Amino acid sequence: MDRIFSGVQPSGNLHLGNYLGAIRNFVRLQEQYECIYCVVDMHAITVWQDPKELRHNIRELTAAFIAAGLDPTKNVIMNQSQNSHHAELAWIFNCVARLGWLNRMTQFKEKAGKNRENASVGLYAYPNLMAADILAYKATHVPVGEDQKQHLELCRDIAQKFNNDFGVDLFPIVEPLILGPATRVMSLRDGSSKMSKSDPSDNSRINLTDDADAIAQKLRRARTDPEPLPSEPDGLDGRPEAANLVGIFAALADSSVEEVLREHGGSLFSDFKNALTEIAVAKLGPIGAEMQRLVADPAYIDGVLADGAVRARALSEPVMAEVFETVGFVRT
Ligand code: AMP
Ligand code: TRP
């Protein structure tokens, strides 16, 4: 049976992009596949995290998974650092992946910025750990937002090189699942940059914990252009802010860009933003409220993660035994 794996970093400020690009699709996939959803705390520390905040953010993200509709009895919900197989396989992949491959990763270049010499080694090797997350379970399908496409190509290259080097057919070649009309949600302040947890302006994103007033205010202030909405998708060409809001609407309404424009073409942004606020509050409000309720019960959250860790290790154990045997390690 096909197996799904995906991860989200517990680095705070979980936003609408994370929801529409990733978490919402996780919920849909749980009906069809065996799924492992991971709070990737080891990825989070590739940039500085305050330990107290990290602990809170791990629990909050776990709560968000459950509040969005993931069933912890049906899926494995876990945090990465509680299954050491991820780190063990990542080391082996550090020895498979080539420097030249990692040098091409655009996310490293963006995150490291100008001062590359000062970036952590972990940030550089981050895609190898991501490949290990997936392949420790021989997962075949990985739901993510558009920005993770390059990392998944690297995961395929690593699987292929490992299989070739050792003359085995051990790792699957994974398929990305980039689903829905909002696979790359843009900043509300700048249609040319991605909505991101690390944007210093809180007005650039809608957080899953924002209340109705905050959502309304951020959408009211969202950047647009002076033209009314077009009636056809090609009328959005060269209008990134308009395209972004229409894509968000379509995703929240379970509709398509064509359909949204059929209904709202010709509207002024002031009216469209009211309609968008209404649907955003209706869809996100209950998730935020449920997150708050769950976070207030850390014992329950920790129980979910403890159970997830046990079930995850049971799944990765046989894969790791095969890997160690293939590589030539002696296990006594
Ligand atoms: P991260 O916050 O980097 O851990 O991302 C978690 C998941 O959310 C990944 O699948 C990302 O591709 C997805 N994601 C992050 N930002 C966005 C965005 N602005 N639009 C769509 N998907 C996103
Ligand atoms: N790198 C991903 C991100 O920042 C998170 C992640 C880590 C992930 N491991 C993964 C996503 C494995 C999918 C599969 O969004």
Instruction: Report pLDDT digits (tens) over 193-226.
Output: 999 999 999 999 999 999 999 999 999 999 999 9
Phi/psi of residue 96, each to 5°?
-100, -45
Phi/psi of residue 169, each to 5°?
-125, 55
> From start to end of the chain, where are the E strands?
3-8, 34-39, 76-79, 141-143, 175-177
Question: Looking at the predicted structure, is the pLDDT value of residue 1 above 90?
Answer: no
Burial class from Cβ neighbours inside 10 Å (0-12, 13-18, 19+) for residue 15 reads: buried
Structure tokens at 73: 């009895």
Calpha distance 201→184 (Å, rounded): 18
Identity at 202, one-letter amino acid code:
D
Compute, in angstroms, the gap from residue 258 CA to the centroid of ligand 2.
30
Average pLDDT of the chain?
97
Task: Encode 183-194: b = buried (16+ Cβ within 10 Å), e = exposed.
Answer: bbbbbbbbbeeb
Report if residue 115 sits inside a domain: yes
- The C-alpha angle 10, 37, 119, rounded to 5 degrees, equals 40
Compute, in angstroms, the gap from residue 236 CA to the centroid of ligand 1.
23
Is the C-beta atom of 8 inside 6 A of ligand 1?
yes
Question: Looking at the predicted structure, is the pLDDT value of residue 41 above 90?
Answer: yes
DSSP bridge partners of 151: none
How far is residue 163 from each of residues 115, 156, 168, measured CA to CA in Å?
36, 11, 5
- The contacts found for 295-304 with CB under 8 angstroms, 24 or more apart, are 295/59, 295/60, 295/63, 298/59, 301/59, 301/62, 301/63, 302/59, 304/62, 304/66, 304/72, 304/77
pLDDT at 147: 96
* 145 and 222 belong to one structural domain: no
**Ligand 2: which of 3, 4, 9, 23 to mutate, judged by most atoms within 8 Å of the beta carbon?**
9
Question: Looking at the predicted structure, is the pLDDT value of residue 188 above 80?
Answer: yes
Ligand nearest to the CA of 38: 2
Residues 250-261 have pLDDT tens digits of 999 999 999 999
Ligand nearest to the CA of 16: 1
Residues 75-90 have pLDDT tens digits of 999 999 999 999 999 9
Is the C-beta atom of 145 inside 6 A of ligand 1?
yes
Domain range for 257 is 202-293
Residues 302-316 have pLDDT tens digits of 999 999 999 999 999
Q: Which of 142, 141, 144 is nearest to 180 (CA)?
A: 144
* 225 and 79 belong to one structural domain: no
Work out the average pLDDT over 290-295. 97
Residues 88-107 have pLDDT tens digits of 999 999 999 999 999 999 99
* 306 and 320 belong to one structural domain: yes
Domain count of the chain? 2
Tell me the CATH number at 113: 3.40.50.620
Residues 16-39 have pLDDT tens digits of 999 999 999 999 999 999 999 999
Q: With bands split at pLDDT 50, 70 and 90, how would you rate the model's confidence at 243?
A: very high
Tell me the CATH number at 254: 1.10.240.10
Is the C-beta atom of 184 inside 6 A of ligand 1?
yes
Is the C-beta atom of 11 inside 6 A of ligand 2?
no
**Ligand 1: which of 147, 186, 205, 244 to mutate, judged by most atoms within 8 Å of the beta carbon?**
147
Is the C-beta atom of 6 inside 6 A of ligand 2?
yes
Report if residue 315 sits inside a domain: yes
Question: Looking at the predicted structure, is the pLDDT value of residue 286 above 70?
Answer: yes
Reported pTM: 0.96
For ligand 2, atom 11: residue with the closest CA: 7
* 176 and 317 belong to one structural domain: yes
Is the C-beta atom of 9 inside 6 A of ligand 1?
yes
Rg (CA), the chain: 21
pLDDT at 208: 96
